[in-house]
Amino acid sequence: MNSNQSEHPVKTLVILLNMGGPQNKDEIHPYLKELFQDRELLKLPFQKILGRFIAWRRTPKIQERYEEIGQYSPTKAIMESQCEGIAQKLDQLNPESAPHVCVSGFRYCSPRPGEMIKQYKGAEKIILFSQYPQHSCCTSGSSFCDAYRWLDKQNNADYQSKISVIDQWWDRADYTELWAMLIQRKFEEMKKEHGLNDEDIRIIYSAHSLPESYCLEKGDKYNEEIQGSVNRIEKVLQENGMRHEGALAWQSKVGPQRTKWLSPSTPNVIAETKQKAILMVPIAFTTDHIETLDEIDIEFRGYADEVVDHFARVDCFNMEEKFIDLCARLVIEHMKNDFKSSIRPCCVNCEGSDCASMRKYFSSSPVHYSS
């Protein structure tokens, strides 16, 4: 069912959670203000005041970056197409829970999850589906807490009785195999186009970085889940006969310069490359946005041009048919498991004011990792 057909009865509402992105130049400052005032993402002294100041300082630079990729973030348009495909697939594969509506719910811009829940309040079941395969308090945790705060204010027991969540799915075989397929496809294209051997191409898996303290002191497992994802993908690629060097790197540092971030940084890993070519894999992202289209495709390509002869990036999942199938499968499995919510337990030294309440609201049970 089309995501805009709110006048029709809806049995199952699926909301894909993501950061979102500004749709024009005027939306960039409000977007950044929301982002830097998010205490789950970045904890600052005098958060509202300093967050507004950082957003004001960074707005002109970010506007320049968006101009380089066409003035706006493509995330919303891509996700609208993803939602359309997922809803159609669910109607086809699981008619007993149809009609389905699938919509986006963004953390820092409209439409927010609360807007979509209110618009489709007649739905019998509501599923919040995190589009972050690896869980972090800064991403999935922030989105779930944001939705929880809106729901808690409604004081509506009906909402709580019919809402559930899907979280972290990085350790699924079909997720691993999807990345392996996309990587191998691009890898073979590079070899054929440039006359390269396997050993001539270095694969760099680049993920959004976090302050080191989030993982070492708070206990956020995001870095371990990213590393686990890379290990699984590399194992499949090797089993498929690829002979190459793979490396994990971290990108997109924001906030105070004195903060120590996860390392090594993507620019440093690029700089130390000895091979003839680099193939970048945006391992933490499912949909193209400024960090892939500008930071990787433009900024990192510039670094790479100084050390290698050839540079390419594996596409994000975007409208890849196997990704739509994967999302539909996850939703159906969730429904067949009685809509049980499973969010990773709080960090050992959790500092979030709403984390425990959010998990209690969604009646979340701990996630059990597969081996």
317/285 Cα distance (integer angstroms): 8
Choice among 1, 13, 41, 44 that is catalytic: 41
Q: Is 108 a catalytic residue?
A: yes
Q: Is 17 a catalytic residue?
A: no
Question: CATH 3.40.50.1400 region(s) of the chain?
Answer: 12-170+321-361, 173-313
Choice among 100, 107, 135, 359 that is catalytic: 107
Amino acid at 254: V
Choice among 288, 294, 297, 354 that is catalytic: 288
The token pair that represents 101 in the structure block: 């509506």
Per-residue pLDDT at 74:
95
* Crossing angle (nearest 10°) for helices 173-194 and 222-239: 60
Per-residue pLDDT at 365:
62
H or E segment and range at residue 213: helix 212-213
314/309 Cα distance (integer angstroms): 17
**Cβ-proximal residues to 266 (8 Å cutoff; 6+ apart), any chain:** 204, 206, 249, 250, 251, 300
Q: Is 146 a catalytic residue?
A: no
Q: Is 29 a catalytic residue?
A: no
Per-residue pLDDT at 292:
97
- Give the single-character DSSP code of 64: H
Per-residue pLDDT at 348:
85
Q: Is 288 a catalytic residue?
A: yes
**Cβ-proximal residues to 16 (8 Å cutoff; 6+ apart), any chain:** 79, 82, 83, 86, 102, 103, 104, 105, 129, 131, 327
Per-residue pLDDT at 368:
45
Amino acid at 346: C
Per-residue pLDDT at 181:
98
Q: Is 115 a catalytic residue?
A: no
Q: What is the CATH number of domain 173-313?
A: 3.40.50.1400
Amino acid at 266: T
Per-residue pLDDT at 4:
45
Q: Is 35 a catalytic residue?
A: yes
Per-residue pLDDT at 2:
46
CATH 3.40.50.1400 fits 12-170+321-361, yes or no: yes
Per-residue pLDDT at 366:
54
Per-residue pLDDT at 344:
85
Choice among 13, 16, 32, 35 that is catalytic: 35
Choice among 100, 112, 208, 244 that is catalytic: 208
Choice among 31, 66, 108, 175 that is catalytic: 108
Compute the Cα dihedral for 331, 332, 333, 338 and give only its sign: positive
pTM (two decimals): 0.94
Q: Is 19 a catalytic residue?
A: yes
3-class secondary-structure state, position 261:
strand
Q: Which residue, chain included where needed, has tokens 């999942």?
A: 317
Write out residues in the chain with pLDDT < 50, as ranges.
1-6, 368-371
Q: Is 330 a catalytic residue?
A: no
Per-residue pLDDT at 371:
37
The token pair that represents 261 in the structure block: 């971030």
